[in-house]
Structures are given as C-alpha cells and as structure tokens.
C-alpha cells in the first residue's frame, strides 16, 4: 500500500504538471522543449524528495511498504528516475533557448555568478552525480563504506535543489507549487533529521557481545545481551542494522550493516549469524566478547503479519546458503513454543560441509511435529529443479512459499514455483543484496 | 537500469560540452543573436496610450522601469501561466516584474532576457 501511494503521488504531480503545461499552449519545438524541461525539473525534484523521505528507515514504518528490502528498491528506483529527469532538465531548457541564439542556450546553463538560483541548481545536480555514482556503479562496484559516506551528500543536494525550485517554480499554480514543495521538503528534512539525529539517540539500542560461536571457519553466530534499559522486540525472521564499537577490529568500527536475527523472539538474548562476505563481516569473525554494539530495528516483513501469533498454514521454505538465517530464527521460535506447524524446508547448499545449522534443524524436525528439513546439494544434484521440489513436496501448490538466498536462487526458485502452479502472490522472497 | 542511468550521465556531459564548445567556436552566433530581437532605436519613443493598444496575450507590450517591451513572443515560454501575465499587458508593469505578484524580484537572467524584447523608451506623459 505504501509503495502504491508513493508512485501515485508521483503520478498525480506529473499529471498536474502536464495539465498546467498543456493549458499554457506551448508553441513550436522550442516551446515544447521548454515545457518538457520544466516538467522534468518538477517531477525529478519530486522523486528526489520522495526518495529522501523513504530513507528515514523508522523501525516498523517499513511494514507498510512490504518490508525494508522492498522499500529500498523503491528508494533506488526513485533515485534513478530523479537523476535521469534532472539530467534532462537543464539540457532541454537550454535547447529551448537556442531559438534566441546559441549564446542564450549556453547563458542559461552558465549565467553570471549573481544568478545564484541557477548555480544552486548546478550544485544540487553535481552533488547528485557524486552521491549516486556508486549506487549505479558508474565507476565499478562500489565500496560499501565509501558509498554510505558519499550518500550523505544527498542532504545538501536536496537543499540546493529546493533553493533552485523555490526561485523558478512557477509552472504549477502558485498555491499548489508552494504547498507541494513545503510538504515535500518537510517530509524529506524530517526523514534526514530522523536518520542522522534522532535515530542515533533513540532508535539505537545498546547491546554487548556475550558469546561468539564459531559455526564454521567463515561463519560466526554472535550472542548479544542487552546493555541498556530497552530490549529489542521483533518477529522471528526480521533483521536489524548492527554497528560494533571495537577499534581493534580490522574494519567496520562504528559502521552499521544489516544482519538477519537468527534467534527466537522468546529468547532473552539476540543471536545473529554473520558470514564472511565483505571487509566488515570478515572483521566481525574475530570480534571479542564484551564488545559494545548498537542495534537498530527491527525491519523486514518476510513472514506476513498474521503469522506473528503462531498460527501456521502449510508452508514451503526455500533457503540458499546464509539465507537460512530467517528460517533458523523462525524454526527456533516455533520449536520453543512447540506450536503445531506444517513446514517443508528445502535447504540448498553446495555440499554437506556448507550446510550450516543443519544438525540443529534436523534436531528440531525430530521433536517438532510437521516440520521437515530437505537438504539439496548442488555438487551432487545440480541446480534446484521442479522435479526435486515436486518429489519431496508433493502438495507444493497448496503451500505458501518463502524464499531467501542469493539473487540467483531467488529468481530460479520463483520461476520453478510459478512453473508448477504456485500463485505469484503466494511466493515471498527476501534478498540480501541491498544495492 | 544501471547501464541506462550511466549512458544518460555520459550523454548529459556530451551535450553540455558540445553546446559550450560550439558556442566558443562560432563567435558570430553570439554577436548575431541579439540582432534577431527588435533592435531598439535611440529615437523610438512610445506614449502610454500607444502601449495600451497592445494589451492582449498575442500582442503584449509592457512598460517596465521607463522602457517599452514587446514580450508577445515570450509569453508562451514564460514559466507562469499566461493568465498571470495578461493583466500586465498594455500597461505599466514594473510592479509585476519586480514582485512577481508577491514579494520576490525576477532573477538577473530574467532581466537580461527582457532586454531582448525592448522596443523603445517611454515618452514622458504630457498634460493636455
């Protein structure tokens, strides 16, 4: 619903802009280019402000958008749309001026310094190019840390863009124009203020590393105990942003990263399984007990709300590699409560040695009625196929499907499930790639 | 999507670069451009009553700070809707130019652009 309202608002403003432009009867090619130039400016800025508003990451808020992963995707698409439109905006307006001479076209882009609103527009656009360059891999795959730092330039970029729009925004009726940008600016500034000021003070919970369990040579499970007054309340399978504070870590001191909770919400402590996938998660493999961490969340809506009370319908879980973590948390929770369930877990891994937590999951399946684990080994059985799924889960089409793994597996599993007749709406996926 | 955004990013700089370069290479364009606009003649002077004859959007003259402008060609490209400009056609419009109907002046660029539409000076009013 949230995502629908975001795109609807972009559509309504685009429509209003179109009506305002058509009613001004643009004449000739120059008139049309000028109208398009103004329209791209308005809709581009709107998309930039919507993207900024979505960046707040207020815990719970993401549920309206089908979870934080989907919300990030919308944020990413809005950012792309906004950059595309705002790159077209000055070029179209400049071409429209070429009717009065080439110098007029260049003058529009590069006026004297006293014409500050144009330069504010330039400042905003250049900052956008800088902070969005890593998001769209302009210069190769981005480094997570540099990407996060550069993304902070979005704040000043938004301010410059608003200064520019405030001066030139006369396409829409004056009242509409004023209200639109006031409301949108308030939302964007509110979101940024939450992100950089309030979330640090009230959104982050203090925890301490109580134990570090080495599950494999490239995978640890951290057990975190509360170090402050407040404890995290969450549903099994949700994720958090965690930042460790240990200057001796090789990388990632004070840097937040998203991790799935592998513990049951009924446990006193939090558990987070972290695989060595990058600099920061590699450094965490050597984190010491006693290290202070902050936790922000919970986020995600992998399992629908109605599941929170423990009533389980027939479900199929498909996990790939470290994508087992939300299912592990879920299985531990159901098992802890000894709830009746009807779950088939297809666990796809390369080989036996990489089937992390399989022993524990097998132990759960022995004591928990209706819970069955079906391992799938790539080296022996090849890629997951429909035959394997139908053989091991004959009543597949009657089940709600949940898939979590690397993007390749998610796409494959979705295709297979649709192929055997599982409705699209009954397939839920969670991806780890946030970029 | 990444490729598309990157392509547009390159296309943007290519377009801006081409515009600037061509403008530098063709100096005539810069000199000729103002000639397309009605050249103000030193002697052209219009009375306010003459200006009032041009009070429609299709034929719109305005008096701004003692100078007469024919902005008819610019009306369709003005950022504000024509209805905002119409009341100022055929009359003294300094207030509209200086305040935009609120309290903010037009930009320096807008003032420079206005000069292209200059047709002459305003004849001092006479007491008949």
Q: How many CB atoms lie within 10 A of CB B11?
A: 13
Q: Using CA atoms, how far apart are residues A269 and A209, in angstroms rounded to an integer? A: 10
Phi, psi of A136 (to 5 degrees): -110, 25
> B5 to chain A: which residues are within 8 Å by CB?
80, 83-84, 132, 136
* DSSP conformation letters of A342-391: EEEEEEEESSGGG-TTHHHHHHHHHHSTTEEEEEEEHHHH-S--HHHHHH
Q: Using CA atoms, how far apart are residues B84 and B101, in angstroms rounded to an integer? A: 9
> A100 to chain B: which residues are within 8 Å by CB?
33, 36-37, 116
Looking at residue A289, what is its pLDDT? 94
Superfamily of domain B45-122: Cytochrome b5-like heme/steroid binding domain (3.10.120.10)
**How does pLDDT run along chain A (435 residues), one tens digit per residue?**
677 888 888 888 888 888 887 777 777 788 889 889 989 999 999 999 999 988 888 887 887 887 888 888 899 999 999 999 999 999 999 998 887 778 778 888 888 777 788 899 999 999 999 999 888 888 877 777 888 888 889 989 999 999 888 877 667 777 788 888 899 899 888 888 888 788 888 889 999 999 999 988 889 999 999 998 889 999 998 999 999 998 888 888 888 888 999 999 999 999 999 988 888 889 999 999 999 999 998 988 888 765 544 455 899 999 999 899 999 999 999 999 888 889 999 999 999 888 999 999 999 999 998 999 999 999 999 999 999 999 999 999 999 999 999 889 999 999 999 999 999 889 988 876 544
Q: 3-state DSSP call for residue A413? A: helix
**Which domains can be identified in chain A, with CATH numbers?**
2-172 (1.20.120), 204-299 (2.40.30.10), 307-431 (3.40.50.80)
pLDDT in tens, B2-57: 889 999 999 999 999 999 998 888 765 444 444 444 555 556 888 888 999 999 98
> A77 to chain B: which residues are within 8 Å by CB?
1
Nearest to A35 by CA among B6, B78, B42: B78
What ipTM does this complex have? 0.74
Q: Using CA atoms, how far apart are residues A255 and A86, in angstroms rounded to an integer? A: 31
Nearest to A176 by CA among A407, A289, A20, A32: A20
Nearest to A173 by CA among A289, A1, A19: A19
Q: Using CA atoms, how far apart are residues A106 and B110, in angstroms rounded to an integer? A: 15
Cα angle at A224 between A222 and A225, to 5 degrees?
Answer: 155
3-state SS track over chain B: CHHHHHHHHHHHHHHHHHHHHHHHHCHHHHHHHHHHCCCCCCCCEECHHHHCCCECCCCEEEEECCEEEECCCCHHHCCCCHHHHHHHCCEECHHHHHHCCCCCCCCHHHHHHHHCCEEEEECCCCCC
Q: Nearest by CB to A87, which of B9, B26, B82?
A: B9
Q: Using CA atoms, how far apart are residues A176 and A197, in angstroms rounded to an integer? A: 31
Cβ contact, residue pair A115, B15, below 8 Å = no
Most distant CA atoms of chain B, gap in Å? 72
Sheet harboring A270-275: ordered strands across? A257-260, A239-245, A292-299, A204-216, A219-226, A270-275
Domain chopping of chain B, boundaries: 2-36, 45-122
Q: Tell me the shortest Cα–Cα distance from A157 to chain B, in angstroms.
A: 17
Looking at residue A309, what is its pLDDT? 46
> A132 to chain B: which residues are within 8 Å by CB?
5
The answer, for B34 touching chain A at a CB cutoff of 8 Å, is: yes
């Amino acid at each position: 619903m949230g995502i629908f309202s975001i795109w609807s608002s972009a559509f309504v403003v685009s429509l209003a802009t179109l009506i305002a432009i058509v009613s001004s009867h643009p004449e000739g090619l120059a008139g049309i280019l000028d109208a398009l130039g103004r329209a791209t400016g308005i809709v581009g800025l709107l998309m930039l402000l919507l993207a900024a508003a979505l960046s707040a990451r207020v815990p719970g808020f993401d549920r309206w958008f089908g979870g934080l992963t989907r919300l990030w995707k919308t944020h990413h698409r809005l950012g792309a749309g906004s950059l595309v439109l705002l790159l077209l905006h000055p070029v179209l307006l400049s071409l429209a001026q070429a009717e009065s001479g080439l110098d007029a076209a260049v003058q529009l882009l590069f006026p004297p310094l006293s014409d500050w609103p144009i330069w504010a527009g330039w400042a905003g656009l250049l900052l956008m190019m800088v902070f969005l360059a890593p998001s769209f891999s302009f210069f190769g795959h981005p480094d997570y840390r540099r990407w996060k730092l550069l993304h902070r330039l979005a704040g000043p970029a938004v301010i410059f863009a608003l200064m520019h729009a405030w001066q030139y925004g006369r396409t829409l009726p004056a009242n509409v124009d004023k209200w639109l940008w006031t409301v949108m600016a308030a939302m964007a500034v509110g979101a940024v203020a939450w992100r950089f000021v309030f979330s640090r003070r009230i959104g982050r919970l203090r925890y301490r590393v109580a134990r570090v369990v080495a599950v494999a040579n490239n995978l640890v499970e951290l057990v975190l105990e509360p170090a402050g007054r407040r404890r995290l309340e969450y549903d099994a399978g949700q994720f958090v942003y965690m930042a460790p504070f240990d200057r001796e870590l090789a990388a990632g001191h004070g840097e937040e990263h998203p991790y799935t909770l592998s513990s049951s919400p009924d446990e006193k402590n939090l558990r987070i399984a972290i695989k060595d996938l990058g600099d920061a998660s590699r450094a965490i493999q050597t984190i010491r007990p006693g290290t202070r961490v902050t936790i922000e969340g919970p986020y995600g809506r992998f399992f629908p709300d109605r599941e929170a009370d423990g009533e389980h319908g027939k479900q199929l879980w498909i996990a790939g590699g470290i994508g087992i973590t939300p299912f592990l948390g879920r299985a531990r929770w159901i098992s802890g409560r000894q709830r009746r369930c009807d779950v088939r877990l297809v666990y796809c891994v390369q080989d036996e040695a990489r089937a992390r937590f399989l022993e524990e999951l097998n132990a759960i399946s022995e004591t928990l009625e209706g819970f069955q684990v079906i391992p799938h080994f790539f080296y022996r059985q090849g890629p997951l196929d429909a035959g394997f799924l139908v053989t091991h889960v004959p009543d597949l089409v009657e089940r709600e499907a949940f898939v979590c793994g690397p993007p390749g597996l998610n796409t494959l599993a979705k295709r297979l499930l649709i192929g055997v007749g599982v409705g699209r709406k009954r397939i839920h996926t969670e991806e780890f790639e946030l970029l | 999507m990444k490729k598309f955004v990157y392509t547009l990013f390159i296309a943007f700089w290519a377009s801006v670069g081409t515009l600037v370069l061509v403008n530098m290479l063709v100096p005539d364009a810069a000199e000729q451009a103002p000639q397309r606009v009605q050249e103000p003649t030193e002697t052209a002077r219009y009375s306010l009553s003459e200006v009032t004859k041009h009070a429609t959007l299709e034929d719109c003259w305005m008096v701004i700070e003692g100078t007469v402008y024919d902005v008819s060609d610019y009306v369709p490209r003005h950022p504000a809707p024509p209805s905002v400009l119409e009341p100022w056609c055929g009359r003294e419009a300094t207030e509209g130019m200086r305040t935009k109907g609120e309290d903010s002046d037009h930009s320096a660029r807008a003032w420079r652009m206005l000069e292209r539409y200059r047709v002459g000076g305003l004849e001092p009013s006479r007491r008949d």
